[in-house]
Amino acid sequence: MAKVISGKDLAKKIKEDIAAKVPELTAKYGRAPHLAVILVGEDPASQSYVKSKGKDAEQVGYRSTTIRLPEDTPESKLLEIIDELNKDEQTDGILVQLPVPAHIDEDRIIEAIAKEKDVDGFHPANVAALWQKRDCVYPCTPKGVIRMLDEAGVEIAGKRAVVIGRSNIVGLPMAKMLLDRNATVTIAHSRTANLAEVTREADILVAAVGRLRMVKADLVKPGAVVIDVGVNRDPETGKLAGDVDYQEVEPIASVITPVPGGVGPMTRACLMENTLECYLNSQDKK
């Protein structure tokens, strides 16, 4: 039986800690931190993520603005809005929910966000800083995973970690952050030959491919720590489920994260932390 790490409980604690600080900061600097979230289009999953981000921001006492734009919004219009937010001294964090519609160049959008307000940590300057071990905004999901591992008392240094997935948002920064904690890291992916052979080496296995229940018991070394970053909709039940087959894997893992209630809430808690960081950095520069 694995120890189950509740991201929901840890996220609640992190948000309570932030909420406790906000009134004093608001009095000191004359305004609360402000997070602006932009959503283009009507993808149901994105709508739900954006709603949760706004709710979390309000819960911790931030000012929260959600800008909802129609699916056919021209790229130039989106760039204009980002530019205004970049210049607005009352906005600390800017997030454009991904993916954006196909007619919009995602890279151009990410680059347009001022790196000082890039609460996602996706700007190329932030990515470079992460890979060069300089000061950076850490991307929210891998940051949340590291926090969960620490909370569960998992020793990372010296361990073998395997990350399945190589996305810019999760897989790659996750691997780098585990490496910086002195794990020995392998990045596997959906086309890795003999995937089970690779993943069974892992003391810490992070699944971030977006394939419903692809991590079966035969991919997991008994006693491994298993982190499930996947969020998939089960077509049979309509419910959310992870990349890990929880029922099969939970009995052999030492630590596991559930879906929902695992990494997801931690991503948002870390977004709140990043927003606070950007706010404090901007106030300190004044």
Residues that bind ligand GUN (CB under 6 A): 95-98, 120, 140-141, 169, 267
Tell me the residue nearest to ligand GUN as measured from the CB. Answer: 98
Place of tokens 């395997």: 162
CB of 2 to ligand GUN, least distance (A): 26
Query: Closest CB to ligand GUN among 46 and 184?
Result: 46
DSSP strand E in 128-231: where?
160-164, 184-188, 204-207, 225-228
Distances 14 to 17, 121, 124, 260, 270 between C-alpha atoms, Å: 5, 19, 27, 18, 8
Kindly name the residue from 92, 120, 228, 245 that is annotated as catalytic.
120
Q: Is 247 a catalytic residue?
A: no
Q: Is 271 helix (H, G, I), strand (E, B) or coil?
A: helix
Query: Closest CB to ligand GUN among 145 and 220?
Result: 145
CB of 284 to ligand GUN, least distance (A): 25
Kindly name the residue from 56, 92, 97, 221 that is annotated as catalytic.
97
Q: Report d(CA 220, CA 216) in Å as an integer.
A: 7
Query: Closest CB to ligand GUN among 43 and 155?
Result: 43
What's the sign of the alpha-carbon dihedral 112, 118, 120, 123? Answer: positive
CB of 122 to ligand GUN, least distance (A): 7
Kindly name the residue from 15, 53, 117, 176 that is annotated as catalytic.
53
Q: Is 285 a catalytic residue?
A: no
CB of 215 to ligand GUN, least distance (A): 20
Q: Report d(CA 11, CA 15) in Å as an integer.
A: 6
CB of 120 to ligand GUN, least distance (A): 5
Residue type at position 44: P
Query: Closest CB to ligand GUN among 140 and 202?
Result: 140
Q: Is 59 a catalytic residue?
A: no
Q: Please tell me what DSSP assigns to residue 230.
A: -
DSSP track, 100-137? PPTTS-HHHHHHHS-GGGBTTS-SHHHHHHHHTT-S-P
Q: Are 214 and 172 in contact (CB under 8 A)?
A: no
Query: Closest CB to ligand GUN among 85 and 169?
Result: 169
Query: Closest CB to ligand GUN among 123 and 213?
Result: 123
* Cα dihedral value 242, 214, 147, 159, nearest 10: 160
Q: Please tell me what DSSP assigns to residue 30.
A: S
CB of 140 to ligand GUN, least distance (A): 5
Residues designated as active site: 53, 97, 120
